[in-house]
A and B are shown apart, each in its own frame.
Chain A
């Protein structure tokens, strides 16, 4: 039995660009913005980085293929750079690559950087793109909100909810995130909204309305990781460590086998349980102080609360409306504003979430600083409810 990643690798520095409609900035500009903050925070020279992992989700609307765009943008010194893509889990995948490289002993210091330039399409929403030669011939031409609206239909049918109750809880998810995002200068959307606004917004894909959808933004985030020993040697204080890194990938069961009823995210349940085991978490509700989950749509966050065992099955609607996941609740979720306010530059999101954990554990989260964060969980979900990739990272103070 593998012993896992817990406390083998720590974060030496992190950076995050301003997210938003960065019309003026190229992907390279965004990468440099995140990287400069990161390397200054790490207190090292660029040549001390042994290897890099580069995450970018949609090549055709972003930087193009391969690892070269990162190496060129940062003028890296011909070090090994690996390009990763795993849909919305891409950012966390880049982080996983760098962390595993350090843990293996192959590298002392590794870089993970994710970037996405979504706003060069000429229209709102995620880019319209091919799902592959064969899939395009029979898959519905589903948009992301259309795919996740299925989760609402499945959840509502399973728990026999009326549409309005579910919609109100979904609205609260967004209201809470906007309230948090309003306190974050790097967020794309920094304005509070009301529950009524969210409830009454036009449908994008029933029952998902405009305010149930996360923003669409450009952005970049990065991390430099190393061993605890090197971090200490470099004088790093308040060291933040990796407690768990897990990934679960659908194998077609949800899409094609009757055992999945469409009301939950099978991969999230599997990946989070593995992560809890890896991090030694016995009681998530009590031990996980903060969560940054993949709130691509409000319904995703709602269902994810149950899949992470932070609400009991069928209990998320009540918990959400009770304020359990608000900034002052027992389990704050999206304290930085989440995808809802940051938008979802695909390659960057996972690292942006870890960045917020890092700031919180270093006590540098400003107006949104939580009083006593213990463990942070980050969750990405790439694809659709019926077939997806789920990544989970758990971050906390070293030791």
Chain B
């Protein structure tokens, strides 16, 4: 039996009030008031498609302590790097074996379902990991800004402990250009919503699903979970009705709570469905974009006992309300902010130096002294223990899953930070090591000596002059 064997989800904690968007922009487009209910998920300044993807993958792999993976597929239309395989960076941050076959899959809103079909049909001997993550940029005051959100999800595909068995899949490849983003653009260009519904969704999706159900010999009325990602609120209902799928089977797109997470949306909704599914239930997952993918799955007994550390519901519930639209604009580079002269300092990454320290910077690898047992980060040639100082005595030791405690901290208002004040301080790890490091997502009054922290891969700095960004691990108050 081949199918989904694990899943995980991640939404950034920030939730921008849609009223804040409307209040700032309705002077230009009063129509935005019609969407001004609820909120949308948005990345902190130090989050992007890669960092969210890693969070989703860590959640997914939380049930597989020592995963031996065949593949890592990373799906998105918003990769930070166009020529530097993003999935390799993800793999190294997850400390996966370098023999894992990595691949970035891009350029369509159905990229995640296409990649999922590829894994399900490949029959690899070892599980494959699929991550979908999206951080789409929308123009200020646009309908897209209102309806979209940022997020990521991950699943593993394999044959052991299957949660949802793969039954079959169907695809129609149709160059239906409801929107596009050219190589020179930061933003999508789209066409009229009603035309996309009538000529796109309502014509392309039904034929694929009908073909799929026919192939699987399944009645539409037996579908218990219908994943149909779209930012059109009424289209899923119209499709369900036309196809005879129970309306209650529609997995909520969360337009007014989280926003549509683009290429990640099919996997996020699948994670949601798997969290709710009972054994034996049928799950229909679709992806729409230049045609349509449809995948039919059946939940197994395993689904009722499996729970990732976070999962979809907790990711959705973990939120921090934001009503400052200006902050959202800054975080998404929609406004040229005066960042002060300290922000002008050169941020060049010296790639040879980066390469030397990649185990620390990406893998959060320190050392454990084989002579005295002292765990330390960063790892230097000599052991840091004043009573040891042994040379070349340290084995690799990964810190990313450790817990820590804040020893000292401050909120620095002098130094440059994209979201001042900059919080940083000395962290004591539960294994005895220490490191002066950045804190992120700190709320005023929410940190003190003794606060507990966990560690997360985040953007460290942008080098806007050269189009590069550095990443490192930061501490987040638990």
Measured between alpha carbons, how far is A156 from B470 in the docked complex, in Å?
34
- Beta-carbon contact of A121 and B341 below 8 Å: yes
With A256-B377, A257-B374 given, is the CB distance from A153 to B425 under 8 Å? yes
Asked if residues B414 and A134 are in contact (CB atoms below 8 Å), the reply is: no
Contact among B378, B422, B436 for A386, CB-based, below 8 A: B436
Nearest opposing residue in chain A for B439, CB measure: A140
Q: Is B384 in contact with chain A by the CB < 8 A criterion?
A: yes
How far, in whole Å, are A128 and B384 apart by their CA atoms in the complex?
29
**Residues of chain A in range 252-306 having any CB-CB distance to chain B below 8 Å:** 252-253, 255-259, 261-262
Cβ of A129 to closest chain B Cβ, rounded Å: 7
- The answer to whether B378 and A138 have CB atoms under 8 Å apart is yes
Chain B's closest residue to A122 (CB) is B341
- Which stretch (A16-24, A84-92, A144-152, A223-231) binds chain B? A144-152
B211 at the interface (CB under 8 A from A): no
Considering the complex, which residues of chain B in the window 410-427 have a beta carbon less than 8 Å from any beta carbon of chain A?
410-417, 421-422, 424-426
User: How far is A259 from B416 in the complex, measured between Cα atoms in Å?
Assistant: 31
CA gap between A137 and B380 in the complex, in Å: 16
Q: Which of B1-9, B184-192, B258-266, B355-363 participates in binding chain A?
A: B355-363
Q: Of A63-71, A199-207, A238-246, A366-374, which stretch is located at the interface?
A: A199-207
Residue B353 at the A interface, CB < 8 A?
A: yes
Determine if B412 and A142 form an interchain contact, defined as CB atoms under 8 angstroms apart: yes
Q: Quick one: given A128-B416, A153-B410, are A138 and B424 in contact (CB under 8 Å)?
A: no
**Is there contact, CB below 8 Å, between A258 and B432?**
yes
Q: Is B27 an interface residue (CB 8 A)?
A: no
Q: How far is the CB of B339 from chain A (nearest CB, A)?
A: 12
In the complex, which residue of chain A has the Cβ closest to the Cβ of B350? A133
- Tell me if A324 counts as interface (CB < 8 A to partner B): no
CB distance from A248 to the nearest CB of B (A): 14
Residues of A within 8 A of B345 (CB): 128-130
A252 — which chain B residues lie within 8 A by C-beta? 380, 384
Whether, in the assembled complex, B373 has its beta carbon less than 8 Å from a beta carbon of chain A, the answer is no
- B460→A123 contact, CB < 8 A: no
CB B132 to nearest CB in A, in angstroms, measures 28
Report whether A153 and B408 are in contact in the complex, using a CB–CB cutoff of 8 Å.
Answer: yes
**B residues less than 8 Å from A149 (CB atoms):** 410, 412
Contact with A along B108-129 (1 / 0, CB 8 A): 0000000000000000000000
Taking CB atoms, residues of chain B closer than 8 Å to A205 are: 410-414, 421
Q: How many positions in chain B have a CB within 8 Å of any CB in the partner chain?
A: 51
Contact with B along A200-227 (1 / 0, CB 8 A): 0011111110000000000000000000
Q: Is chain B's interface secondary structure helix, strand, loop, or mixed overall?
A: mixed
B407 near A: Cβ within 8 Å?
A: yes
- Bound complex: CA A153 to CA B448 (Å): 8
The residue from B421, B428, B436 contacting A258, defined by CB atoms under 8 A apart: B428
Query: Considering only CB atoms, which chain A residue lies closest to B415 in the complex?
Result: A143
Interfacial chain A residues near B413, Cβ < 8 Å = 202-205
CB-nearest residue of chain A to B409:
A153
Residues of A within 8 Å of B356, CB to CB, are 134
B262 CB, nearest partner CB in chain A, Å: 30
How far is it, in angstroms, between the C-alpha of A302 and the C-alpha of B344 when the chains are bound?
Answer: 34
Residue B376 at the A interface, CB < 8 A?
A: yes
A157 at interface by CB-CB < 8 Å = yes
Chain A contacts for B476, CB-based, 8 A: none
Convert A374-399 into 0s and 1s, putting 1 for each residue whose CB lies closer than 8 angstroms to a CB of B.
00000000001010000000000000
Does A154 count as interface, using CB distance less than 8 angstroms?
Answer: yes
Q: Please tell me if the beta carbons of B426 and A386 are within 8 angstroms of each other in the complex.
A: yes
Considering only residues 421-478 of chain B, those with a C-beta below 8 Å from chain A are: 421-422, 424-426, 428, 432-438, 449-450, 460-461, 470, 472
Residues of chain B touching chain A, judged by Cβ–Cβ distance below 8 Å, are 340-342, 345-346, 349-350, 353-354, 356-357, 360-361, 374, 376-378, 380, 384-386, 407-417, 421-422, 424-426, 428, 432-438, 449-450, 460-461, 470, 472
13 pairs, CB–CB < 8 Å, chain A vs chain B: A130-B346, A133-B353, A137-B349, A138-B357, A138-B472, A141-B438, A146-B412, A149-B412, A152-B410, A202-B413, A206-B411, A256-B377, A261-B407
**A130-B345, A140-B422, A258-B434 are known contacts; what are 14 more A-B pairs with Cβ within 8 Å?**
A128-B416, A137-B357, A138-B460, A141-B415, A143-B414, A150-B408, A150-B410, A157-B449, A205-B411, A252-B380, A256-B378, A256-B433, A256-B434, A262-B426
